[in-house]
Amino acid sequence: MDARVRLSGLAFTAVIAATAALSALAGVMLTPVRAGGDEARAAARALPGVVAIHVEQESRLFPVMADAGGVADIERAPGHEWRNGSGFVFDSSGLIATNHHVVAGARRVLVRLADGTVLEASLIGGDPRTDLALLRVSAPAPLAALPFAPSARLRPGERVLALGSPLDFPFSVTAGVIGGFGRAYDGADGVDYVQHDAALNPGNSGGPLIDLSGRVVGVNTATPRETLFDIGVGLAIPSEIAGPVLRRLAEQGHAPRGFLGVSLRGLDAALAEGLGTPPGGGVVVEALTRRSPAERAGLEPGDVIIAMDGSPVRAPRDVNRRLLGAAPGDEVRLEVLRGGESFTIAAVLDEPPGEAVARGGIGPAPRAAASFGLGFENAPGGGVRIDEVTAGSPAARAGLMPGDWLLAVGVTSVHDADAARAALEAADMAVALYVKRDGEAPRFLGLSRGATPAGPPMHSAFAGASGGPY
């Protein structure tokens, strides 16, 4: 043993002894903390069904956090790299559950079992919307499949364990408690996650979150967007979502669900004011997929969806969440605001197509807004292009850049620079712009000359979030 380690151990023992002596003098009895036997038994029951996953991918711009060390036949191929993740046995015949993002873009996948056996894996199917994927391996004997249990039966404060391979330390166990339910990753992701504080780090993705009976109550998938490593807040896909999706992947190779064909943006204060929409809810339609149910039902860019099937819509994820449980052929009813009037649209969902999002027609306009640090020019081939963005202006803070295209002010299309300037000169305190950057889908931005409303940042407040097409 390293002398420094021995010294550290002796010093720790001395501190404990001194603390105990001082406590005794003070009349305080210290009870040694003992490791919970329930946690150890649950981990021992579940670990045989946990796997480490090693994925060969195209090299990216930045190096990966850790290579898949310890696998004998892995060598870094020129132009490729190995990344690690986690998974667990979904079915004893050789079906392995993991996250979609763990295996997306893989050239080769190796699965390391708890006994050290390394097997080639093939991808059965993946579902990006729930970030789940299913692999198949040919094992010499039946594997130890992990049973599922409803996460909803747990209560905040109940103990759970996260099993996986963080930073390629395989078959690691961390312990924590349930912190809450129905958590959001961002304003577009429709999954309601289980929050817990069992440590998650890169490589834990795809591993199981288990209860003290060794049953899967979630699939660990992320820490919040604001962090990369563990900060005591982990997110797991609840078993109520993961189980059915994995079963559909096993049976069909994909997880079919209804497709509406809209790209959406949440309404921040400036965008709501610029569109003439009351604040406090709704999402604006930014683009429609050609020949989609949304287009056939009569939705237009600039429409504001305030409810779906009777439930309020406050962020794109509210629409996405409803569609996660919908099938092709289902009808959805949308409550829509357009030009200050509200109406209801019914749309029958399709199978998701493989086509790109296309910009739809531009409808009637509400009142526009003021000069926000923008200059315009007529493009040689037609259209209005932004040629100047004043440093520190509302336009600059919103991320607009010279070369971006201005398609509409509010929902009134503009075809020349003079019309764009006139619309801004007639503006008040806020404006909604429909803009496009080369290579990207069009989007709405809200600019405000007024001060940003005061208030703390809220992880679950998604004004300005965008997502789609759904």
Instruction: Name the active-site residue from 101, 254, 330, 393.
Output: 101
Mode of pairing for the β-strands spanning 405-409 and 430-436: antiparallel
Residue 136's contacts (CB-CB under 8 Å, 6 or more residues apart) are 94, 95, 96, 121, 122, 123, 124
pLDDT of residue 59: 57
Task: Give the whole-angstrom CA distance, residue 299 versus residue 35.
Answer: 59
Task: Give the whole-angstrom CA distance, residue 345 versus residue 343.
Answer: 7
131 as an active site residue: the answer is: yes
Phi, psi of 97 (to 5 degrees): -95, 145
- The per-residue DSSP string of 267-296 comes to --HHHHHHTT--SSS-EEEEEEETT-HHHH
Contact between 331 and 339 (Cβ < 8 Å) = no
Contact between 334 and 307 (Cβ < 8 Å) = yes
Phi, psi of 242 (to 5 degrees): -65, -45
Q: What count of residues does the chain have?
A: 470
pLDDT of residue 97: 98
Alpha-carbon distances of 62 from 39, 74, 102, 145, rounded to whole Å: 38, 20, 17, 36
pLDDT of residue 21: 43
Tokens of 94: 């050789």
Mode of pairing for the β-strands spanning 443-448 and 412-413: unpaired
pLDDT of residue 434: 92
**Cα dihedral value 432, 434, 438, 440, nearest 10:** 90
Tokens of 354: 């493989």
Tokens 């962020």 locate to 315
Digit-coded pLDDT (tens) for 188-245? 888 999 999 999 999 999 999 999 999 999 999 998 887 778 889 999 999 999 999 9
Instruction: Name the active-site residue from 151, 165, 205, 371.
Output: 205
> Would you give the DSSP letter of residue 356?
P
pLDDT of residue 237: 97
Digit-coded pLDDT (tens) for 91-145? 999 999 999 999 988 888 999 999 999 999 999 999 999 999 999 999 989 999 9
Task: Give the whole-angstrom CA distance, residue 247 versus residue 225.
Answer: 29
- Taking 50 as the pLDDT cut, the residues of the chain under it are 1-35, 60-78, 354-370, 452-455
205 as an active site residue: the answer is: yes
Instruction: Name the active-site residue from 86, 100, 127, 131.
Output: 131
SS3 state at 152: helix
If 0-12 CB within 10 Å is exposed, 13-18 middle and 19+ buried, where does residue 84 land?
buried
Mode of pairing for the β-strands spanning 208-210 and 216-222: antiparallel
Report which of 465, 424, 228, 264 is spatially closest to residue 357, judged by C-alpha positions: 264
Report which of 232, 216, 215 is spatially closest to residue 224, judged by C-alpha positions: 232
Tokens of 238: 């609840």
Mode of pairing for the β-strands spanning 341-348 and 331-338: antiparallel
Phi, psi of 324 (to 5 degrees): -60, -30
If 0-12 CB within 10 Å is exposed, 13-18 middle and 19+ buried, where does residue 35 land?
exposed
SS3 state at 180: strand
* Peptide bond connecting 402 to the previous residue in cis, omega within 30 degrees of 0: no
Domains by residue range for the chain, with CATH: 49-137 (2.40.10.10), 151-252 (2.40.10.10), 262-355 (2.30.42.10), 374-466 (2.30.42.10)
pLDDT of residue 468: 75
